[in-house]
């Protein structure tokens, strides 16, 4: 069995990926470089962390929240960061905060294509690779559950095909939304 997935050299935003949100120059200590894409909850930016000399992905939550609910949402995201969720198949949450009243979550930067984009691009993937992806996904989910962290809304845009396999983003966001009301 062969699944077709193609990874272009440089990902490009499409019209449906464009965001009307105007990004601040920084999210906390993370300097905004450019928008990578947009999900259901808001845009994702490639940022630079000068303190640690690394790239960081920042998910900005473009939600209609009262200031109290935004604070509650960020508080739950900050608890997620404190858990120290690290695994080779998980994009590690690094920081959370508010920038200009907008909640954000900073994550380990993942160099790769989201699985939904990879599937649309149709590169051939062997059954062996698929089994490896599923194994990595299961291992990451198990590691998160050991820390009492659930995903809650796993989507193809949360799975990234990288040179080393598969990585998952978005753990804890659904719970943060629920707890913030």
Section 75-98 average pLDDT: 95
Determine the Cα–Cα distance for residues 143 and 84; give it in Å rounded to an integer. Answer: 11
> Binning pLDDT at 50, 70 and 90, where does residue 3 land?
very low
Question: Given a cut of 70, is residue 2 above it in pLDDT?
Answer: no
pLDDT greater at residue 165 or residue 8 = 165
Q: Do the beta carbons of residue 81 and residue 95 sit within 8 Å?
A: yes
Q: What is the pLDDT of residue 11?
A: 46
Point out which residues pair with 93 in neighbouring strands: 107
Maximum average pLDDT range among 15-24, 100-109, 118-127, 156-165: 100-109
Which helix (H) or strand (E) segment holds residue 34: the answer is strand 30-39
Section 132-149 average pLDDT: 93
Question: Given a cut of 90, is residue 156 above it in pLDDT?
Answer: no
Q: How far is CA 72 from CA 13, 33, 76, 180, in A?
A: 31, 28, 6, 5
Q: What is the pLDDT of residue 19?
A: 52
Q: pTM value?
A: 0.84
The SS3 assignment for 78 reads helix
Per-chain mean pLDDT for the chain: 86
Tell me the per-residue pLDDT of 8-47, one tens digit each, with 9 for 90 and over. Answer: 444 444 434 555 567 889 999 999 999 998 888 999 999 9
Of 15-19, 83-87, 126-130, 140-144, the one with minimum mean pLDDT is 15-19
Of 73-82, 83-92, 155-164, the one with minimum mean pLDDT is 155-164
DSSP letter at 16 equals: G
The SS3 assignment for 99 reads strand
Determine the Cα–Cα distance for residues 36 and 23; give it in Å rounded to an integer. Answer: 12
Q: Do the beta carbons of residue 24 and residue 100 sit within 8 Å?
A: yes
Sheet of 159-162, strand order: 113-114, 159-162, 165-168
> Binning pLDDT at 50, 70 and 90, where does residue 95 land?
very high
Give the position of tokens 């698929």.
130
Q: What is the pLDDT of residue 6?
A: 42
Give percent of the chain above pLDDT 90: 58
């Amino acid at each position: 069995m062969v699944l077709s997935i193609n990874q272009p050299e440089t990902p490009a935003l499409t019209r449906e990926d464009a965001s009307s949100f105007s990004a601040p120059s920084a999210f906390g200590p993370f300097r905004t470089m450019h928008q990578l894409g947009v999900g259901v909850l808001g845009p994702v930016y490639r940022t630079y962390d000068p303190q640690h000399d690394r790239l960081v992905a920042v998910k900005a939550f473009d939600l209609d929240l009262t200031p109290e609910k935004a604070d509650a949402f960020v508080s739950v995201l900050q608890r997620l960061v404190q858990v120290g969720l690290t695994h080779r198949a998980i994009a590690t949450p690094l920081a959370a905060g508010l920038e200009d009243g907008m909640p954000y979550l900073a994550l380990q930067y993942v160099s790769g294509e989201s699985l939904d984009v990879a599937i649309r691009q149709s590169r051939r993937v062997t059954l062996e690779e698929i089994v490896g992806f599923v194994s990595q996904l299961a291992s990451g989910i198990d590691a998160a559950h050991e820390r009492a962290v659930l995903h809650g809304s796993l989507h193809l845009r949360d799975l990234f095909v990288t040179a080393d396999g598969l990585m998952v983003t978005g753990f804890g966001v659904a719970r943060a939304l629920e707890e913030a009301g």
